[in-house]
């Protein structure tokens, strides 16, 4: 069942104008030091949602998710091109933090802001009931979408993808845990060749089964 388009569009507009992290931050956090630029793609018909961490500097500048080398790798894992990836009829994209969280003292990205999860995520996923494949990219997304696995290492969660398939698929929303496609995970990918040999083909099969042919898109 697809949700009401007008309601989802209004939700997207509310997210785009959100300034909670700057104006009313979580008491455990400092206000966001720069102008927020929420990046999130909602969909009334896509069956797949990509749930990553938070925009980096390039995405903050472009306003478009995964406009960096990690996006290229992720699209390779999914077996799709850019036109399919950025088509909201095919993919929703809902990171755990909608805005670039800033850099830490070492020059790395800070964790996703807590405000997004607390104020938006439950509403967003309730508004897209047609989603039946969740790609949980990285530990923060896995903690939200797989609370029963919280506290486990990313390696343990991703390595347990078949068990997670058995747990989540019967409920009607299959969840596939993935490492972040960043170059920082090159060593992990080199050590875990099963990921490319076994999990990626399974991932591509599940994605392909849910892509909507162009003729069907025109009917929506």
Three-class DSSP labels, the chain: CCCCHHHHHHHHHHHHCCCHHHHCCCCCCCCCCCCCCCCCECCCCCCEEEECCCCCHHHHHHCCCCCCHHHHHHHHHHCCCHHHHCCCCCEEECCCCCCCCCECCCCCECCCCHHHHHHHHHHHHHCCCCCCEEEEECHHHHHHHCHHHCCCCHHHHHHCHHHHHHHHHHHCCEEEEECCCCHHHHHHHHHCCHHHHHHHHHHHHHHHHHCCCHHHHCCC
Residue 133 lies in a domain: yes
Q: Which domain holds residue 119?
A: 5-211
DSSP bridge pairs for 136: 51, 177
| pLDDT tens figures, 45-94 | 999 999 999 998 889 899 899 998 999 999 999 999 999 999 999 999 99
pLDDT at 215 over 70: no
Residue 218 lies in a domain: no
Q: Is the dihedral of CA 164, 165, 167, 173 positive or negative?
A: positive
Instruction: Give me the mean pLDDT over the 163-176 stretch.
Output: 97
Confidence of residue 214 (pLDDT cuts 50, 70, 90): low
Quote the mean pLDDT of the chain.
93
| Residue 78: other Cβ atoms inside 10 A | 24
Residue 219 lies in a domain: no
Residue 12 lies in a domain: yes
Residue length of the chain: 220
Residue 136 lies in a domain: yes
| pLDDT tens figures, 99-156 | 999 988 888 889 999 999 999 999 999 999 999 999 999 999 999 999 999 999 999 9
Count of the separate structural domains present in the chain: 1
Instruction: Give me the mean pLDDT over the 14-27 stretch.
Output: 95
pLDDT at 124: 97
Residue 143 lies in a domain: yes
Task: Indicate which CATH number applies to the domain containing 101.
Answer: 3.40.470.10
Q: What is the pTM of this model?
A: 0.92
Residue 22 lies in a domain: yes
pLDDT at 3 over 50: no
Residue 217 lies in a domain: no
């Amino acid at each position: 069942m697809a949700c009401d388009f007008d309601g989802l569009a209004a939700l997207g507009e509310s997210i785009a104008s959100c300034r909670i992290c700057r104006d009313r931050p979580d008491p455990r956090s400092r206000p966001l030091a720069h102008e927020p630029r929420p990046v999130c793609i909602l969909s009334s018909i896509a069956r797949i949602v990509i749930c990553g961490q938070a925009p980096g500097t390039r995405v903050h500048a472009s306003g478009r998710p995964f406009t960096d080398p990690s996006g290229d790798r992720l699209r390779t894992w999914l077996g799709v091109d850019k036109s399919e990836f950025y088509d909201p009829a095919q993919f929703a994209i809902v990171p755990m933090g909608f805005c670039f969280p800033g850099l830490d003292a070492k020059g790395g990205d800070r964790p996703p802001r807590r405000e997004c999860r607390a104020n938006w995520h439950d509403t967003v996923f309730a508004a897209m009931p047609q989603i039946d494949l969740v790609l949980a990219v990285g530990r923060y997304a896995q903690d939200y979408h797989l609370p029963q696995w919280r506290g486990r290492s990313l390696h343990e969660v991703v390595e347990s993808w078949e068990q997670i398939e058995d747990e989540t698929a019967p409920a009607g929303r299959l969840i596939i845990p993935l490492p972040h496609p960043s170059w920082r995970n090159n060593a992990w990918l080199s050590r875990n060749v099963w990921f490319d040999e076994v999990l990626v083909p399974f991932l591509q099969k599940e994605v392909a089964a849910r892509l909507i042919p162009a003729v069907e898109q025109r009917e929506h």
